[in-house]
Amino acid sequence: MSDRLPGFSTLAVHAGAQPDPTTGARATPIYQTTSFVFNDADHAASLFGLQAFGNIYTRIGNPTNAVLEERVAALEGGTAALAVASGHAAQVVVLQQLLQPGDEFIAARKLYGGSINQFTHAFKSFGWNVVWADPDDIASFERAVTPRTKAIFIESIANPAGSITDIEAISTVARKAGVPLIVDNTLASPYLIRPIDHGADIVVHSLTKFLGGHGNSLGGIIVDAGTFDWSTGGKYPMLSEPRPEYHGIRLQETFGNFAFAIACRVLGLRDLGPALSPFNAFMILTGIETLPLRMQKHCDNAKAVAEFLAGHPAVASVNYAGLASDKYNQLARKYAPKGAGAVFTFSLKGGYDAGVNLVSKLQLFSHLANVGDTRSLVIHPASTTHSQLDDAAKVKSGAGPDVVRLSIGIEDKEDLIADLEQALGA
């Protein structure tokens, strides 16, 4: 046995999966079952008491989902992961472990519109108070820190304009404040950026996007970096204090550097309930096997399309960090040297009406509210994903009325450019 580090593509195919012990099946089986038989009463008690490794009930864990969890943990360089029903579910479960009612968390203002809604409205009713900061102004994060701050939340590549966040600079703020840095890595995927290498303590994903990659299955995941010390100062009682649900177990003491992932499973998923279907886990696992191939193609296509748009007379501006002229190009070179992702925005000289006209004329691009599909997608954020924001907030989050967002697929780039050309030209 030698200790060596296989490459990313090897991990994308193999991590977490081995032939099924019972049948020898090589592909990961779909364990479509709600529950698992105990060997005897003692085994059941050990499992319920978190003393033995094994399966109880699919709301707490499932063998298909476990393969997905280990695979994403390996790709991100984390100690453990927990798969849940959606990216939104991942965010609820993470913050439930960190915040008590009345606590605060700081979030980057540039986020997926759905996250902005979730943080502003849904979490407010839990007493979790979001404080917004500007990812282009690191000092705004420092100024937002108070004694009630329990976490900082950012996107690595930020919606909707594909801007790149300075993860290391914000992780320094988080460390100084003594709070974990949570990074939503959905738009980058670990193929482009591994936030843990830059100081993230927790990584979340919507698996629905590039990781699953085929636009057919919802899912979310939480990755524990194993880097944060939850025991100090009683600030994170879910991890540091005896848990009455489990006869007084202290999770950090018992599980060490993967205690956060365990807390998400046994306190979050178990009690809130957003379990991932094993069938979806299987679909997403199949997608992940080709992540490196797809992601490179997504990025190469996106760069070609962005360059085409930047040179088109009907286009006012293109926001793509992969363009040398873009304000985020330096950060893209540092954090995402293989490519700046495949989601970006541009604005048309003809404003709102021209945007609507473009969307209606496109033949290959699908008009829908998703990103990270094999197919190329187009949307007008101001009237859809970001429609619940007021006009000022739309502009601040990069989703002004003249903005069109693209998610570039893995078709032939010549066909994508030809489709845009005919739709822009007429």
311 forms part of the interface with another protein (CB under 8 A): no
Which member of 80, 283, 306, 416 binds another protein (CB under 8 A)? 80
- What is the x/- site pattern for another protein, positions 163-182, by CB under 8 A? --------------------
Distances (CA, A) of 12 to 155, 162, 385: 22, 24, 31
Work out the widest C-alpha separation in the chain, in whole angstroms.
Answer: 73
154 forms part of the interface with another protein (CB under 8 A): no
Report the alpha-carbon distance of residue 212 to residue 169 in Å, rounded.
30
Nearer to another protein by C-beta: 265 or 394?
A: 265
Q: Which two tokens stand for residue 203?
A: 């990584």
Q: b/e string for 254-265 if b means 16 or more Cβ within 10 A? A: ebebbbbbbbbb
291 forms part of the interface with another protein (CB under 8 A): no
Helix residue ranges per DSSP H, 336-406: 351-361, 391-396
Segment interacting with another protein (CB under 8 A) among 247-255, 331-339, 358-366, 401-409: 247-255
Which member of 4, 147, 234, 392 binds another protein (CB under 8 A)? 4
Q: Which two tokens stand for residue 139?
A: 């000092």
Which member of 93, 151, 158, 196 binds another protein (CB under 8 A)? 196
247 forms part of the interface with another protein (CB under 8 A): yes
Burial of 5 from C-beta contacts in 10 A (0-12 / 13-18 / 19+): exposed
Report the alpha-carbon distance of residue 32 to residue 415 in Å, rounded.
40
Nearer to another protein by C-beta: 251 or 382?
A: 251
73 forms part of the interface with another protein (CB under 8 A): yes
Least distance (Å) between residue 139 CB and another protein: 25
User: Would you say 233 and 240 are in contact if contact means Cβ atoms under 8 Å apart?
Assistant: no
Which member of 58, 64, 79, 301 binds another protein (CB under 8 A)? 79
Position of tokens 């859809």?
A: 384
Report the alpha-carbon distance of residue 331 to residue 163 in Å, rounded.
9
Which member of 262, 283, 315, 371 binds another protein (CB under 8 A)? 262
Query: Where do contacts with another protein occur on this chain (CB under 8 A)?
Result: 1-6, 10-11, 14-16, 18-22, 24, 39, 43, 46, 49, 51-55, 61, 63, 65-67, 69-70, 73-74, 77-83, 196-197, 225-229, 246-249, 253-258, 261-262, 265
